[in-house]
Amino acid sequence: QVQLAESGGGSVQAGGSLTLSCAASRFSARVYSMAWFRQAPGKEREGVAYINSFGGTIYADSVKGRATISQNNGKNTLNLQMNSLKPEDTAMYYCAAEPGIYSSTWSLAGEKYRYWGQGTQVTVSS
């Protein structure tokens, strides 16, 4: 059973930075997609950043230039560094994983991912 576990969330003031991590276990795909999503209360889930096994990345416009997605130890640890945080970044952040590669059309579509973590809360105060 694939397991994903997020960490690194917390409370930060606007303009600050956070690095979220996602530890993946039993995810054995050699060709894969991994991504970060977020969901704020009362809002739809939003894809934030994507990375695949070839190192390709895609970012949502809402975080472009402020976020960096990366991997340590291959796919075992997925990171999301976010700078210049804004109150509108407040949400529960989830990592997701799926064997295979997605085009830019589907890379940040949550319905394309089977494996999800439990989430980590990010709260940005003004």
* pLDDT on residue 73: 74
The residue-averaged pLDDT of 91-100 equals 97
55 HSE (CA, 13 A, CB side): 2
pLDDT tens readout for residues 20-63: 999 999 999 999 999 999 999 999 999 999 999 999 999 999 99
Closest CA to 75 of 94, 55, 57, 59: 55
Look at residue 11 and tell me whether its pLDDT is greater than 90. yes
The residue-averaged pLDDT of 79-97 equals 98
Which carries the bigger pLDDT value, residue 73 or residue 104?
A: 104
* pLDDT on residue 46: 97
* pLDDT on residue 9: 97
Q: What is d(CA 97, CA 117) in angstroms, rounded to the nearest whole number?
A: 9
Look at residue 105 and tell me whether its pLDDT is greater than 90. no
Mean pLDDT taken over the chain: 95
Closest CA to 45 of 110, 114, 120, 116: 110
